[in-house]
Every structure is written in C-alpha cells, then in structure tokens.
Structure 1
C-alpha cells in the first residue's frame, strides 16, 4: 500500500513539474499568418495551417492579427497579452515587416534599421525574461516580380532579423528566402494560385466581387507557406521540432480542400 501511495505521489509530482508541462507554440505576426473565419475563405494565413503539419498533441496559439507591425502590436498591448498567456518553455514565432514598411501609416511605420530593430530586441529580451524561446521569422515575399525574377520587397527588414541571429543568438526561420525560392520555381503565372486571385465567376463567399491580391494567401498559398515554416522548424535544435510531422500531406496539397481544415 505504501509503495502504491509513493508511486502515485511521484507521478503527480512529475505531472506538476515544469519538465512535464506541455510546450506551446505562439505566433506573433500580421495578416499573412492570421487565422481567418470560414466566411473569409479562401483567404488563409500560414499560422492557421501550421497545426496540420504537427502532431495532434501540439498546441499552436496564433495571435497574428491583420494590419499590425512591431510598433502597433506593442502599442496595442498585444505583445504584453501574449507574454501573460505564455508559460516558461513555450516557443514564440515573431514575424513582422510587411506593415512596419507602411510609411503612409505612422501608427504602423517602423524604420528597419532603428525602431523595427529596437522593437525586435525588446521582444527577444522580454520573451527570454519570461522563460520563453523567441524565434525570428523573416516576412514571406509578395507575388512581386521584376520580369522573371522574384523581388524581396521587405529585404531591409529581413536583413535586420538576420543580423540579430548572431548578436542575440536567436534562432531564425528564413521564410523570405524559402518563399522567394518557391515563387521563383513557380514563376509569375504558376505562383498566382498561392495568392488571392479570383473572379466573381469563382463564387468565393469571402470575395463575391472577386479579388486580385499579391500579398495575402489563398488556401494553397497558406498551406505552402506553413510547409516552409514546418521544414524550418524541423531543423531547429528545439524540443518543438519533435512535434513537426515527418510527412505533411495536408501542407503539400496541390488541389484546394475548400477549407482550412486538416484531413
């Protein structure tokens, strides 16, 4: 009897220990990663699709929200809320840049070499101060071509992130480079399917009048970007890498499923 009680007590202690706590993956980002309601289909964010490439017990907490930059995400208290929600050991993917470059919107604009860099440093140090694991993610490319060559419209912002890898010893997922390679392989025409290009005849509930958008992702685009993120995550020497599935058919689909569901 005493042995059984001791074993039960040991089991409860192990479950209560930090080592036994479940590691979660938080996403701090913008509309390219955001989770969208079904009535916005086919607009989909890569953070919305990422759970389809991870084990069923993995927990992805997507706090990405459209129109946010490092400046506005901090100013609105969204970063503070994320920190309050996260637990020691949780991983935080930090991807900004698209809206930081919005010079015409002062509430968003953060020059790459100064305020953007300072904001990223704040996020890194505050995350670590809470026992979290920050991971930088360079912004995905737009469907932007100079002739047949892909353009990286947010290169200055990505370079700041890359520079922080060595100076702060922060892991990096280079989504800009990976997405640029993907678009280069697909070309200007083949890459249209990854973004929001639909006519009224396509009868998409979220866009009854059609849409031409080279920034935001379609279902297939979000799946493809999530696959690139999953590949990069798998290569990191972090415990969360073990939660990435070895094969990810949900993220490598070539035909739309018609929703953001996992099969």
Structure 2
C-alpha cells in the first residue's frame, strides 16, 4: 500500500511544530559570565572548562534546558558593551533563569590599548568618562556593582529569575588556604543580590572550602593545572557546578525544584594514546629492561589521557602484524585517539629462520614468500610496508598516527652515539613523509642528550645491555619523547602533554622502584 506523499509531509510538519512547541515550553537557564563559566568554545581546549558546561547535567532536562552564553575574557562591562547581554535579554521569557558570574576580569585597567575592560571598584553609582583607546569612542565606565545590577534588573523586567554568584576561587595557595574574594567582587556581588532581593550563592567560598579539604597537592593537576591558576579542569568545573547546586538547594530559589535527585555526571571521554613497538617501548617486569612507554604517562595530563601501551618485547614491524597484535590494538582505537608507532630494533633479524621476525629492507612494495617453521607460508613485506599499514589503518579509524624513529643504543663508535641513520631512522622518516604523517626523530634527539651527558654517565641508563634501558634511562627517553610531542607543530597532541614548568616540578625518578 502506497502512502500519499502529502500525508507524510503533513506528519513531518506536525512533528516539527510539536517539537518546537515543546522546546518553547521548556524553561531556559541562561549562564552569563567569563571564561570560568565557559572557556573558549566550551570544547575543553587545553583541558580547561567552565562550570556552565556542566550545570545542565544536574538539572531535569525534560523540563529545563541550558544555554551557556558566557564568553572568555569579558568583564561585567565588556560583556554588555559587546551586545552579548542584549542577545540573552531578547530571548528571555517569564520563568527563565539567569545565572550571573563576573569578577575575574573586572580588575583590569579602565582604559588601555589591550582590553579596556576594567570597572570601577564597588557598587556605587560613580562613573568615569573616557575615550576608549580601543574603540576610539566616548564611553561612560561604571562600577562593577552597577553592571551587575543592570543585568539583574533587566532580567527581572522580563519575568526571569536572576541568580548572582561570587567568582570561583583561583588556585593560588598560601599557608594551606585559598584566598577568598569576600572583601571585593564576592562581597559586591552579594551586596547587589541583597539589595535587589535575588538569590546569591557564595560560589567562591563553597568551592574553596572543598578544595582546601583535598589539599594543594591533590587539587593541582586534578581540579586545576599548574599552568593555569584561574581556569579549572573538567573535574574542577564539575566541582564548581556542584557547589552552585548545593547553594541552590540551601536557598529559596525555585530552580532547586528542577535539580535531579540522582545525578550521573559525564566527564569528557579520555583520549587514548596507543603505543606500538618493541621492548624498548614496552611494559616489562625486568627492572633492568624498562621500556620508555612505562615512564611516559608521567609527562601527560592523565585527567584527559590514557596511555595504552601495546608494545611487546621481541616484536618487529612484521611480527606485530603477523601475530595479530595490531588487529587487537586497532579494535580498541576510537576517533580522536593517537597511535605512536616505533619499530626497527628487531626488523634486522632473519626473514626465513629462527624467530621469523626480520622484514625486507626499505619501504618499497617488494615481497618474499617464506615457509615458516610451522609449515605455514607467509608473504613478508618491507619494513616501510608494515609502517604504512599502521599509519593508514590508524587514519581509517579516525585516529592520528605519529611515527617515531627507534631509540639509540649505548654504542659509541668514534665517540658518537650509534644511530641507524641510513636504515631504520631514514626509512621511518621516508614513510612518514610519504603518508603525510607526523614524524619525530627520537633517535637523534636522545643521542644529542646522551652526548652532552657523556659515555660514562649514560652507562647508568643501560644496566642490562646496550639496547634496553633501566628506569632512569627509560625516563630520559620518555621525557625527550614528551618534549618533542609538545613541540609537534599543528598536532593536537601538544595540548595533552604537560607544560615545561609542570615537568620541571615532577619528582625525580629513582634507579629502582
């Protein structure tokens, strides 16, 4: 039976109208503020988030929807001068809510050629006439309180319900305590809320009190980053949102009626960084043969990253594929992940006997059929062919491949660290260039450090043999790998590596556990 196209169209229109009607019936919670409410585009760039990105997960989405209109870098003044409040004001309807938080940027100069975003301190009606050095136009600058009051009053005019908050605390510790802003912007925000008879939440004190229970060591690197004392991580943003929810529950504000009883907070998925390679990268139980992949997690932001070390001792680019290790790894890769590829130490082995792990030299499509010890025929390819396979199939999974050259051995011909510049280092680079993949010459970067340290000092890094490092040696290679990843132009992995200052403050690595 054929269904009339007109009837289908009518059903579609009816569905669309109903959907729009339901959307209009929902109460909207608007958030206005600075980067601590919405950092950047709200996508977690740099691992930084605003509490406005998570507040919606605490509320009943069948009745409430959240629109995060905050903008980083704005003060209570510039947010309104830019017309951002006008956008929200025009959309407001009776029963909506406006969550308001400014203060971090209001302390800047009233007039300069950089931002000109400062406000007059306090809540008075004092004003100052200026010719804005950026816009070149006359402007009357008011107090912080004046701008907050304007937003509150105009929200109330539309029948919306304002909630004023003190700015979140900065991660700057003194004698085990975080500074409060209860004599400045927190105080002034409260004074305006009290005068306008609207809800005030002391977000600053609520959040700071929680953080102080954790202590500085736990807070830094979990809720905030050492590189940034103002903008929280995802966990920090959730903590701020939790503090707001607790403040609402303790208030008479009707928004508390929409708070979910059993909240399930979803943090962003951690990005996986897969490592594939041999024993110089692998996780080994022998303390005298530690792969650098065991040490590299300490150089990454593990609140956002999981290092998945799939490297396996004794494997070559060929056997990692032949044994199904690559297929197992590939099945776990998700879009947005990274795969660091490093082979070469075992590819120089015999192709048709013993361990059957050698690959054909070079990067061509040359093949050779060999009869393995188990009488199974295998088509063996070049080192470059296997590397290309890993690169291409990583890309097909929506992940990013990064090729690294093999690590140098503790051999010093003519006083220089041994490197395979004419073979595996060269071929790895050629493959990466051909496939347009990122490439890091880890061999050369590590060798340079070894030569600065000197042959005697480097001996300590190799307690077993000339190929495998101990814990300290593995850490030296891991640190170098992290440095090069952080300097990898155009790659998103840079954002996931710890900064220089954070690395400098890492505890030293002992020779033994």
Superposition TM-score, scaled by structure 2 size? 0.43
User: Residue 56 of structure 1 corresponds to which residue in structure 2?
Assistant: 302
Which residue does the alignment assign to 2:512? 258
Q: Is the partner of 1:108 in helix, strand or coil?
A: coil
Q: Which residue of 1 aligns with 2:283?
A: 35
Q: In the comparison of the two structures, how many residue pairs are matched?
A: 236
In structure 2, what is the equivalent of residue 217 of structure 1? 469
In 1, distance between residues paired with 2:326 and 2:319?
A: 10
CA contact (8 A) 1:34 1:65 kept: yes
1:128 aligns with 2:395: yes
Q: Does 1:243 align with 2:496?
A: yes
Distance 1:8 1:157, change over 3 A: same
Deviations 1:102-144 (A, max 9, x none): 2374521012314101111111111111111111010010001
Which shifted more, 103-112 or 178-187? 103-112
Deviation at 1:229, TM superposition (A): 0.5
Helix, strand or coil for the counterpart of 1:195? coil
Deviation by residue 1:46-103 (Cα, 9 ceiling, x = unmatched): 1000001111312100001100001000000000111101111100000000001123
* Contact 1:97–1:154, Cα closer than 8 Å, also in 2: no
Matching of residues 49-128 of structure 1 within 5 Å: 49-57=295-303, 58-103=305-350, 105=354, 107-113=356-362, 114=364, 115-128=382-395
Alpha-carbon distance in structure 2 between the residues aligned to 1:110 and 1:251? 40
CA distance in 2, matches of 1:107, 1:252: 42
Q: How far apart, in 2, do the equivalents of 1:245 and 1:230 lie?
A: 8
Secondary structure at the counterpart of residue 460 of structure 2: helix
- Please give the alpha-carbon distance, in whole angstroms, between the structure 2 residues aligned to 1:232 and 1:51: 15
Taking the aligned partners of 1:251 and 1:213, their CA distance within structure 2 comes to 28
Contact conserved, 2:315 with 2:357, CA < 8 A, in 1? yes
Once residues 279 and 451 of structure 2 are traced to their aligned partners in structure 1, the CA distance between those partners, rounded to angstroms, is 23
Distance 1:102 1:251, change over 3 A: farther
Deviates more, 1:240-249 or 1:55-64: 240-249
Given that 2:288 and 2:468 are in contact with CA atoms closer than 8 Å, whether structure 1 keeps it comes out as: no
1 or 2 for the larger relative contact order (CA 8 Å, sep ≥6)? 1
Contact 1:141 1:154 in 2 (8 A): no
8 Å Cα contact 1:91/1:133 also seen in 2:
yes
What residue ranges of structure 2 are gaps of 5+ in the alignment? 1-25, 29-58, 69-262, 365-381
Q: How big is the shift at 1:257?
A: 5.3
Counterpart in the other structure of 1:189? 456
Is 1:228 aligned with 2:469? no
State the distance in 2 between where 1:32 and 1:46 align.
6
- Provide the aligned C-alpha RMSD in A: 2.6
CA distance in 2, matches of 1:173, 1:252: 26
| Structure 2 equivalent of residue 145 of structure 1 | 412
More helix by share: 1
1:125/1:221 CA distance change after superposition, 3 Å: same
Larger radius of gyration: 2
Is the contact between residue 137 and residue 172 of structure 1 (CA under 8 Å) also seen in structure 2? yes
Structure 1 regions of 5+ residues with no counterpart?
Answer: 197-211
User: Is contact 2:288–2:462 with CA below 8 Å preserved after alignment?
Assistant: no
Greater shift in the superposed pair: 68-77 or 157-166: 157-166
Would the alpha carbon gap of residues 252 and 230 (structure 1) be closer, same or farther in structure 2, given more than 3 Å must change?
A: farther
Tell me how far apart the structure 1 counterparts of residues 481 and 427 of structure 2 sit (CA, whole Å).
19
The separation in 2 between residues aligned to 1:250 and 1:155, in whole angstroms, is 38
- The farther-off stretch of 74-83 and 1-10 is 1-10
Aligned partner of 2:274 in structure 1 is: 26
Q: Take 1:159 and 1:193, find their aligned partners in 2: how far apart are those partners?
A: 28
